[in-house]
Structure 1
Amino acid sequence: MSFKYMPVLRSRENEKRAFKNFFDNKIFSSNTIIPLIEIIQYSPNRKNTTDSKLPEEIFEESYVNEFKNYDFPIIVDIPMYIDLNSNIKQKYKDFLSEMLSNSNKKTPSKRLIYFNKLSKLKNIIPVVSYNPNAPYPLKTISTQEKYLRTNFNKIAFRVFVNINTITHILNEVEQSITSEDILILDLQDDDYKETKFNTLFQKIEDIKTSKKCKTIILNTPITEDIIKKNKNVQNDCPINAIDNSIVFSYKSFGFDAFGDYAGIKKYLGPDNNGNNYNPPVTYNIFYAYHQNKYIKFKSQTINASKPVVAPSITKSKCWNMYGHTHHKNCPGCIEINNKSIDTSKPGNWGTWQAINIQHYIYTMNDFL
């Protein structure tokens, strides 16, 4: 496997739409990108929750039948790091609680059992991981690896930067990982430039050298906290607090590739008591590769209609820096340009989330 970038996408409808668009355009068939899909619900687009199908049947219908259409490697995680006490949608809590039940006992958790439902697909790489918000149970990594290794040739190991436990966990990883596998260091909200991580990076590089595995550093440049603290940034100005420098520096820290959340916040959104309200867009954050900055654009009200953000982007300097060829081929830019011309359909937050993902991933594929 040869790749430079790992976008993390969740199993939600807008991200699924962006994923399919890239499949249709053969973006994921290149050697540059390997996606990681976080499955956070039984189905991203199932409307009828009262039918007679069992949850495992819904899961298989949703993911096995979809992933079998793809001819490129896909890393798949049923994430264990999400705080189930936080204000996220109940359907995510219900699914993840069920998947993680019994995860620290001798019998396999549903998470592992459901992974095996994907084993008939040769392009799937399951993730071995743990809950970084709780004490680490010994041999969690090795137990999962042994269970999954029977049916999967390639496995991804996802570890987190808890300085108190990471050395022991990496020793466990080193005993299990092979040259076919991938080691993902998830920084979460930490700053990778902090010197306290130097020893950790060296340990991972040592594992890579001895085991011949691939290594990825997973960054979270856009956080909810940064967005809140920078709400007063003016139109067509960069949000300098968003640090995306890892795009150009990951190799200097010994990693083969970097990952992030594909140009959007790592945020599942509040529960809203089941309300699916998706408000109009008041601003958008557009990635400008040439500056390696996220530029904030505010919506305008045109002809007293809904707020429209696309014209602010297409009139900007950073838009013009991409050039005609990129605008003609980038799925995200095509949608932005269309919405700039026809302002009657400005799009809501979900629509713009998919647009930003498509623009960011296409840009990475274009320039890396």
Structure 2
Amino acid sequence: MYVPIMKNRDEEVRVIQTMNGYFNDSIIPMIEIYRDFYLTRYKTDEAGNYVYEKKPNSNRKYKIKLPPTDDDIITLKRIEEFLNGKKAFIDFFKFYANEYDDSRSFSNVELSIHLSRDFSYYKTRMLEIGDYKNLIPVISIKEGFNISEFDLIQLIKQLRDSNSSIAIRVTDGVFEEFEEVFEEYLTENDYLMLDIRNQNIDSKFIELEDFRDFETTAKKILLNSPRSRQLKNGDYEHLEFTKKINNKASILYKRYKLDGFGDFGGLKDDLPIDGGGGGTGTALALIYCKSDNAFYSIKHDDSSIGVRGYRFVRNDVLFRRWYFDSSNACTAMNKIEQMQVKFGNWATWNNITLTRYIQEQATK
């Protein structure tokens, strides 16, 4: 079983829409919700007609958009629509103060900040998941968040009332603290996910052996984030399989007799960057090949031209398409082929990386 982990950013949502045909009991995505989607409402008069206004330096009239309220939240409804009937794990995303560096755009993650600071609100949002039959709630336990054994048990029981399956995602540093709860309260319909984050999997053999031997009827899944947040695009190699992403988890989970693995599909476990990450920077493509279990790295080293470097990256990718996609069936390669005038930006190529990875994991 494979669990692609993605946040509900625009491009990752587009991947869900494009690739949901590959989702099944063997590939179930986990969506980390760090922001809400809202129903758009406009100001109306007493008769129910839209009220218009002119914007500065324009003769056109525009409807006046109302500020969103909690009553306008449609996050889970939208996600269910994107999934088109397929299952997904839902993790209302929390993070602690020093988990991400100061270049992150914390102004865009107000929901996550609220969830992180208010357990009662976190629990309320988690319980909403029970209204959607294809969504599986994920209780996330990690360093930096203190949850009592009592609160955890109560949350499991409340989620059980309206969900046929639940998942617990726990980092290796706090796993032992809750072992007795996992043993007693998880069933064969549930999922227990050991998250080693971005730690080197080769150094976690003791934890993995303990996880293998842990007695539970729940499905056991190994999660990790093998692409470092500290590395910049320019740090990667050119025209070779990168040694900077250790993708062993996708193989080792079988050796440890686990039921599946999950990762970020070649993306970083990161938050939005202030300014959107625009401007200068190295154009980079990471093309995953399952037969090699590695990412082929292609970049354009002139960082001064930023995303315009993707013109050259695209050409280098397509020159090697015979190796990446000998059957011309790859969705990501077709997307690259169709770039005739515009050649994408950082987000576009994140979409390509993740799209390719999911399709490759779906191949036998």
Q: TM-score range by the shorter chain?
A: 0.7 to 0.9
Letter in 2 for 1:161: D
Decide whether aligned partners of structure 1 residues 345 and 52 sit closer, same or farther in structure 2, where only a CA change above 3 A counts.
closer
Deviation at 1:281, TM superposition (A): 5.9
Corresponding residue for 2:70? 55
2:170 is paired with a residue whose SS is strand
Corresponding residue for 1:215? 220
Corresponding residue for 1:19? 16
Segment of structure 1 superposing worse, 280-289 or 247-256: 280-289
Matches of 1:153 and 1:52, distance apart in 2: 36
Corresponding residue for 1:294? 295
Corresponding residue for 1:176? 185
Structure 1: which 5+ runs fail to align?
A: 104-108
Decide whether aligned partners of structure 1 residues 217 and 81 sit closer, same or farther in structure 2, where only a CA change above 3 A counts.
farther
Equivalent runs, 1:353-368 vs 2, <5 Å: 353-367=350-364
Residue 40 (1) aligns with residue 47 (2): no
Residues 28 and 87, structure 2, Cα contact 8 Å, conserved in 1: yes
Matches of 2:183 and 2:127, distance apart in 1: 23
Q: Deviations over 1:166-202 (max 9, x none)?
A: 212222222211111000111111122225x42x334
Equivalent pairs counted in the alignment come to 335
Matches of 2:9 and 2:358, distance apart in 1: 17
Corresponding residue for 2:46? none
Matches of 1:331 and 1:67, distance apart in 2: 22
2:153 is paired with a residue whose SS is helix
Matches of 2:211 and 2:279, distance apart in 1: 42
Segment of structure 1 superposing worse, 349-358 or 79-88: 79-88
Decide whether aligned partners of structure 1 residues 333 and 153 sit closer, same or farther in structure 2, where only a CA change above 3 A counts.
same
Residues 39 and 72, structure 2, Cα contact 8 Å, conserved in 1: no
Matches of 1:322 and 1:284, distance apart in 2: 13
Letter in 2 for 1:153: S
Give the root-mean-square deviation of aligned CA atoms: 2.9
Deviation at 1:237, TM superposition (A): 1.8
Decide whether aligned partners of structure 1 residues 287 and 12 sit closer, same or farther in structure 2, where only a CA change above 3 A counts.
same
Deviation at 1:102, TM superposition (A): 3.0
Letter in 1 for 2:254: K
Equivalent runs, 1:36-185 vs 2, <5 Å: 36-43=30-37, 51-58=66-73, 61-68=74-81, 70-81=84-95, 83=97, 86-87=101-102, 88-103=104-119, 109-135=120-146, 137-162=148-173, 165-185=174-194
Letter in 2 for 1:224: R
Matches of 1:63 and 1:5, distance apart in 2: 22
Decide whether aligned partners of structure 1 residues 120 and 137 sit closer, same or farther in structure 2, where only a CA change above 3 A counts.
closer
Corresponding residue for 1:106? none
Q: Equivalent pairs: percent with the same residue?
A: 21
Residues 42 and 95, structure 1, Cα contact 8 Å, conserved in 2: yes
Structure 2: which 5+ runs fail to align?
A: 43-63
TM-score, structure 1 as length reference: 0.81
Matches of 1:92 and 1:170, distance apart in 2: 35
Q: In terms of Rg, which structure is larger? A: 2
Q: Deviations over 1:52-93 (max 9, x none)?
A: 4313522xx232144056322210001234547743223443
Matches of 1:332 and 1:130, distance apart in 2: 34
Segment of structure 1 superposing worse, 287-296 or 251-260: 287-296
TM-score, structure 2 as length reference: 0.82
1:152 is paired with a residue whose SS is coil
Deviation at 1:279, TM superposition (A): 6.0
